[in-house]
Structure 1
Amino acid sequence: MRLATEDLKVRFGGVRPLDGVTLVFESGLCGLIGPNGAGKTTLFNVLSGFVRPVAGRVTADGTDLLALSPHRRARWGLRRTFQQEQVVAELSVAGNLRLAADHLGGTDEGLLGFCGLEDPDRPAGALTLPERRRLELARALVGTPRIVLLDEPAAGLSEAESRALAEVVVAVPEKFGALVVLIEHDVALVGEICESAAVLDFGRVIASGPTAEVLADERVRAAYLGEPA
């Protein structure tokens, strides 16, 4: 799977959250990092169809994603999680997956076990935060995901909980054949699990490529890690 953006621009009044973003994400697990306000979530919103760019292109293996509505993109196989939880507390764990399956098409067979959720009948509102994060991931994997966008899935988790969730995320590309793009503020974790990475700063790409090379880039260390360039 090859997800590509070309000269993406987004304007909110006089603010430019994306200012000419050109990126290519190819197979496996890719990290997307940058300071707060760099444009990471805005990029996810464009990719998933919730924000319309004023200029640019988005393609996935030749499919023009900008021509598809958010619902059609999800049905096509572009899935995402959000910083704000989408779990329905009143439904059971299994009920949340059935709801996603009805919306997205496909089945949820085997997803609970894969994501480490043992009790399908437990009310989602009774889950711990790490369990809710796993349920969010399971919902995104219903059916046949091709691209999975994860927006800070480990936010609020302890280091141990974050590492445990990362073990599941790392297994997604091989099990589902999907491209995974991960927004994550834990740079060390990105360095450990992501094959490639891209860095946004003030709505522009300042580095992209193999993760080790990106994290060693002087511009990245200056913009994100606070070191002089």
Structure 2
Amino acid sequence: MMRIRDLTVRFGGVFPLDGLSADLEAPIAGLIGPNGAGKTTLLNVMSGFVRPVGGRIDLNGLDLLALAPAARVRAGLRRTFQTEQVVEDLSAFDNVLALIDHVGTERRERRRAVEEALDFVGLGKVASTLGQRLNLFERRMLELAKAVVGKPRLILMDEPAAGLNDIESEALRQRILAIPASFKASILLIDHDVELIRATCEEVLVLDFGRRVALGPTAAVLADEAVRKAYLGVA
């Protein structure tokens, strides 16, 4: 479970997050809202890239904001980005191995953990392929492999399906759905694709102007009049 309490971020006179509170309990939760709603800012606060002026985030009883960014990774926090972070002159295997060096996995377990992550996303056969030779779908799946390696507890995903076609997006969705059971990790997923959110997430948090608009079961939230006006553009 993740508890967010009175979280506030201020940039000058602008409040990307304004007293946000929410309890997220589902294994896969969605985070949606119009551009500028505060979604990526929330992920940046969780990751340690942005320091809030107030508030608290607890992850299964752990005070996340009390930890340095590197300590959050060791505690099980993972993140994928809108633009994939692939080292072009490293193999797929070494891209994942470079991440696992920072998560506290014992040395004798590292190769097995990397192989397990690559197999999970279907990249076992291209483990030796350089990053620069991977296509967009493979690069997206490599990001997912980096997210699941080394006993993750919470994975933050920022538009993981961006640029993928329908078949690729569905393949990615199936892997995302399998993560909680396979790795005992929770997921917070940002995406503008409402149908992906509907088909993947059990609950959804909706933001607008840094504030909570709605939180609850996905179907109910997406049918909510305030959400339809703020996010879907439907009166």
TM-score, normalised to structure 2's length? 0.94
Structure 2: how far apart are the matches of 1:155 and 1:14? 31
CA positional deviation for 1:186 = 0.6
Q: Are 2:26 and 2:202, in contact at CA under 8 Å, matched by a contact in 1?
A: no
CA positional deviation for 1:136 = 0.6
Counterpart for residue 133 of structure 2: 126
Q: Are 1:93 and 1:119, in contact at CA under 8 Å, matched by a contact in 2?
A: yes
Counterpart for residue 144 of structure 1: 151
CA positional deviation for 1:110 = 1.0
Identify the match of residue 113 of structure 1 among 108, 119, 122: 119
Q: Which runs of 4+ in 1 moved over 4 A?
A: none
Hey, which of these two has a bigger chunk of helix by percent? 2
CA positional deviation for 1:202 = 1.0
Aligned residues: 227
Structure 2: how far apart are the matches of 1:165 and 1:140? 13
Aligned alpha-carbon RMSD (Å): 1.0
Deviations 1:129-155 (A, max 9, x none): 111010011111111100011111111
Counterpart for residue 20 of structure 2: 21
Counterpart for residue 189 of structure 1: 196
Counterpart for residue 162 of structure 1: 169
Q: Are 2:159 and 2:192, in contact at CA under 8 Å, matched by a contact in 1?
A: yes
Deviations 1:159-208 (A, max 9, x none): 22111111111100110111111001110111111111111111111000
Does residue 67 of structure 2 align to residue 68 of structure 1? Answer: yes
The residue matched to 1:110 in structure 2 has which SS? helix
Counterpart for residue 223 of structure 1: 230
Q: Are 1:27 and 1:173, in contact at CA under 8 Å, matched by a contact in 2?
A: no
Structure 1: how far apart are the matches of 2:26 and 2:154? 9
Structure 2: how far apart are the matches of 1:36 and 1:62? 31
Q: Are 2:31 and 2:188, in contact at CA under 8 Å, matched by a contact in 1?
A: yes
Identify the match of residue 179 of structure 1 among 168, 178, 186: 186
Structure 1: how far apart are the matches of 2:10 and 2:197? 29
Structure 1: how far apart are the matches of 2:221 and 2:26? 17
Structure 1: how far apart are the matches of 2:104 and 2:138? 24
Structure 2: how far apart are the matches of 1:200 and 1:78? 22
Q: Are 1:27 and 1:178, in contact at CA under 8 Å, matched by a contact in 2?
A: no
The residue matched to 1:206 in structure 2 has which SS? strand
Structure 1: how far apart are the matches of 2:25 and 2:139? 28
Deviations 1:25-56 (A, max 9, x none): 11411111111111101000111111110011
CA positional deviation for 1:4 = 1.1
Counterpart for residue 198 of structure 1: 205
Counterpart for residue 213 of structure 1: 220
CA positional deviation for 1:60 = 0.9
Structure 2: how far apart are the matches of 1:109 and 1:21? 39
Deviations 1:46-91 (A, max 9, x none): 1111111001111111111111001000000011111232111110
TM-score, normalised to structure 1's length? 0.96
Partner AA of 1:55 in structure 2: G
